[in-house]
Chain A
């Protein structure tokens, strides 16, 4: 039974992680249809897209069964488990994973993570996106794994053509972005180092989802419980516990940190540790613990306060203050961000005749209701970037602001947003891009084209260009005479027809600055 529970957990975890990775690295829409729901059921994307059903499901599930989410649906959890196993595969004699030992909870950091989660839900996703598990994992997949996967697929295609045995279409190797690679490698290094040293340390310290679910799972009905009558104190469970939450001399399992992996249940030879609804021992609470009056750190009370409780006691008075401070700062930051955005929106830097033509606002992907709402909801997971048919979406490296890195931005120097494609809008798990049907997408206005006659080759040189007018899918551009004295023509935009797809900006032959650019929506 115990073995079965553990193997079920491992199977579900592996399937979820593999499907989600396939969704992130594989381009085909078939994978998106099979695995698209896995991105939507992630806790934080569900919170941001206000899917109350999914939130309620996970909270309820956690309240009954503990933090099963962290051991099944979370891709970063599975990834950490995989990395933690790697040293044990190479050095069979001294496996790292058997060296786990109890660590006291980093309660102050956990409350800070919770404050960041709260701030993120109020609009400051830009801090949250660096520690949110789904986003961290998807960035690693999209910016590091996908180029490797795409290259391998192209290699197979080439091999098939060379031998004449099979024909596969060449695929795009994905986005190669310096910012993306730097951020992914940094997070990957931290995750790998902590998971090898301390198992699920990240989940129980920095992870905002872990902090939120930890509060609920502290009261979970089913939990790991040690029967002190059967326990022989062999410490096997302590050594296999990847959450490092079993405090052995006290026979206490910290349920707020336990990720319900069943490793301890499986390891126990005497059947003392079980997954049960009965409470033989009190679990260490994450939040409140009534401390006997007079008992201070280092002092041994009548009940024998364990080391963990001491750590909790020591951390408590400080972390509540920190929690409040962090909460206030985090709550104020979106307001500040909004204030600065409004100031920049009033300034229109584009003047006719200014030759270095850059858009006043960079263009957001289709399906965004407003620029602010998009920047507040998007965590920059890169799913849309990975699936963009025309590869026009790129991770931003400062186009929006220094705060919003890795958020998708349209780069019209590479391609334009194809008229019939609505792929990114159907995939977004956080609802930063609202789903559009193909007809809605064709009418959706990304921005508005603006022309600078000083750069236009047909206006200045008299070359009969008109490439923008010919390539416009909406028929919004007409070539009109510049003035009465010259026969030269320049493009004139019909603002009621322009959808801001960027086909004109892409094709404009003027260099180094285009004569026509798309200004994003407010």
Chain B
């Protein structure tokens, strides 16, 4: 009913808003929605030890399984802390801390190597920001 009353311009504005929210949501939550990584390994080797395919795939898998804590929760809350513990426990078991995302120093050597056009440095930066927030949550027990 209401949709029929919208004129063309209003409809366009609404659709833009929905599309914008869909695009912005993963960015705002500090995490990529899906990695798209095929594990081809063209970005490797990373001189600073980041296991780029493993990190991207782990995080994508974590999002799929609902392992990433809800970013809308406050850092001090118990729910966020428990989710963080679960995520970080798996993360450190899957990837040794010397190969995790925060080891990226932004040297841009992997730029343009990805056939899937993943903006690797930016993705790693987002994962680092997310895990840093989770580490902060561990301190509020």
Complex interface bits, B107-141 against A, C-beta within 8 A gives 1, otherwise 0: 11000000000000000000000000001101111
Complex interface bits, B39-53 against A, C-beta within 8 A gives 1, otherwise 0: 000000001110000
Number of A-B contacts defined by CB within 8 Å: 57
B57 at the interface (CB under 8 A from A): no
Q: What residues of B have a CB within 8 angstroms of the CB of A482 in the complex?
A: none
Chain A residue with the shortest CB-CB distance to B138: A389
B14 at the interface (CB under 8 A from A): no
Residue picked from A169, A438, A509, most chain B C-beta under 10 Å: A169
Q: What residues of B have a CB within 8 angstroms of the CB of A438 in the complex?
A: 139
B89 at the interface (CB under 8 A from A): yes
Q: What residues of A have a CB within 8 angstroms of the CB of B135 in the complex?
A: 390, 418
If the complex has contacts A465-B105, A509-B48, are A169 and B89 also in contact, measured as CB distance less than 8 A? yes
B136 touches A420 (CB 8 A): yes
Residue picked from B48, B82, B139, most chain A C-beta under 10 Å: B139
If the complex has contacts A28-B141, A169-B86, A415-B97, are A463 and B136 also in contact, measured as CB distance less than 8 A? no
Q: List 17 A-B contacts (CB under 8 A).
A: A28-B141, A167-B86, A170-B92, A418-B139, A419-B139, A420-B136, A420-B140, A421-B138, A421-B139, A463-B107, A464-B106, A465-B105, A471-B102, A507-B102, A507-B103, A509-B103, A509-B105
B85 at the interface (CB under 8 A from A): yes
The size class of the interface chain B forms with chain A is 20 to 34
- Besides A463-B107, A464-B106, A509-B105, 15 other CB < 8 A contacts? A157-B89, A169-B86, A170-B89, A390-B135, A414-B97, A415-B97, A418-B138, A420-B136, A423-B141, A464-B107, A466-B105, A467-B105, A507-B105, A509-B47, A509-B103
In the complex the two chains form, what is the Cα distance from A306 to B106 in whole Å? Answer: 82
Residue picked from A28, A170, A421, most chain B C-beta under 10 Å: A170
B8 at the interface (CB under 8 A from A): no
Q: What residues of B have a CB within 8 angstroms of the CB of A467 in the complex?
A: 105-106
Q: What residues of B have a CB within 8 angstroms of the CB of A423 in the complex?
A: 139, 141
Q: What residues of A have a CB within 8 angstroms of the CB of B49 in the complex?
A: 509
| Contact among B82, B93, B139 with A170 in the assembled complex (CB-CB below 8 Å) | B93
In the complex the two chains form, what is the Cα distance from A167 to B139 in whole Å? Answer: 21
| Contact among A415, A418, A471 with B136 in the assembled complex (CB-CB below 8 Å) | A418
The size class of the interface chain A forms with chain B is 20 to 34
In the complex the two chains form, what is the Cα distance from A272 to B9 in whole Å? Answer: 103
Which label, helix, strand, loop or mixed, suits the secondary structure of the B interface?
Answer: helix
Q: Which residues does A use to contact B, with CB under 8 Å?
A: 28-29, 157, 167, 169-171, 389-390, 414-415, 418-423, 438, 463-467, 471, 507, 509
| Contact among A170, A414, A419, A420 with B86 in the assembled complex (CB-CB below 8 Å) | A170
CB distance from B88 to the nearest CB of A (A): 8
In the complex the two chains form, what is the Cα distance from A420 to B47 in whole Å? Answer: 31
In the complex the two chains form, what is the Cα distance from A438 to B85 in whole Å? Answer: 20
In the complex the two chains form, what is the Cα distance from A419 to B75 in whole Å? Answer: 14
In the complex the two chains form, what is the Cα distance from A390 to B138 in whole Å? Answer: 9
Q: What residues of B have a CB within 8 angstroms of the CB of A415 in the complex?
A: 97
B90 at the interface (CB under 8 A from A): yes
Q: What residues of A have a CB within 8 angstroms of the CB of B136 in the complex?
A: 418-420
Chain B residue with the shortest CB-CB distance to A468: B105
CB distance from B117 to the nearest CB of A (A): 23
Q: What residues of A have a CB within 8 angstroms of the CB of B102 in the complex?
A: 471, 507
In the complex the two chains form, what is the Cα distance from A421 to B138 in whole Å? Answer: 8
In the complex the two chains form, what is the Cα distance from A438 to B135 in whole Å? Answer: 15
Q: What residues of B have a CB within 8 angstroms of the CB of A389 in the complex?
A: 138-139, 141
Q: What residues of A have a CB within 8 angstroms of the CB of B92 in the complex?
A: 170
Q: What residues of B have a CB within 8 angstroms of the CB of A509 in the complex?
A: 47-49, 103, 105
In the complex the two chains form, what is the Cα distance from A418 to B137 in whole Å? Answer: 10
If the complex has contacts A167-B86, A170-B90, A170-B93, are A465 and B107 also in contact, measured as CB distance less than 8 A? yes
B82 touches A169 (CB 8 A): yes
In the complex the two chains form, what is the Cα distance from A170 to B85 in whole Å? Answer: 7
Task: Give the top 4 A-B pairs by smallest Cβ distance, nearest first.
Answer: A170-B89, A169-B85, A421-B139, A420-B139
Chain A residue with the shortest CB-CB distance to B132: A471
In the complex the two chains form, what is the Cα distance from A464 to B48 in whole Å? Answer: 13
CB distance from A419 to the nearest CB of B (A): 7
B141 touches A29 (CB 8 A): yes
Q: What residues of A have a CB within 8 angstroms of the CB of B139 in the complex?
A: 389, 418-423, 438
For chain B residues 58-114, which have a beta carbon within 8 Å of chain A?
82, 85-86, 89-90, 92-93, 97, 102-103, 105-108
Chain B residue with the shortest CB-CB distance to A389: B138
In the complex the two chains form, what is the Cα distance from A389 to B107 in whole Å? Answer: 30
CB distance from A477 to the nearest CB of B (A): 14
CB distance from A468 to the nearest CB of B (A): 9
Q: What residues of B have a CB within 8 angstroms of the CB of A463 in the complex?
A: 105, 107
In the complex the two chains form, what is the Cα distance from A467 to B135 in whole Å? Answer: 18
CB distance from A267 to the nearest CB of B (A): 47
Q: What residues of B have a CB within 8 angstroms of the CB of A422 in the complex?
A: 139
CB distance from A151 to the nearest CB of B (A): 12
In the complex the two chains form, what is the Cα distance from A486 to B106 in whole Å? Answer: 20
Q: What residues of B have a CB within 8 angstroms of the CB of A170 in the complex?
A: 85-86, 89-90, 92-93
Q: What residues of A have a CB within 8 angstroms of the CB of B85 in the complex?
A: 169-170
CB distance from B131 to the nearest CB of A (A): 12
Q: What residues of A have a CB within 8 angstroms of the CB of B90 in the complex?
A: 170
Chain A residue with the shortest CB-CB distance to B135: A418
Complex interface bits, B4-44 against A, C-beta within 8 A gives 1, otherwise 0: 00000000000000000000000000000000000000000
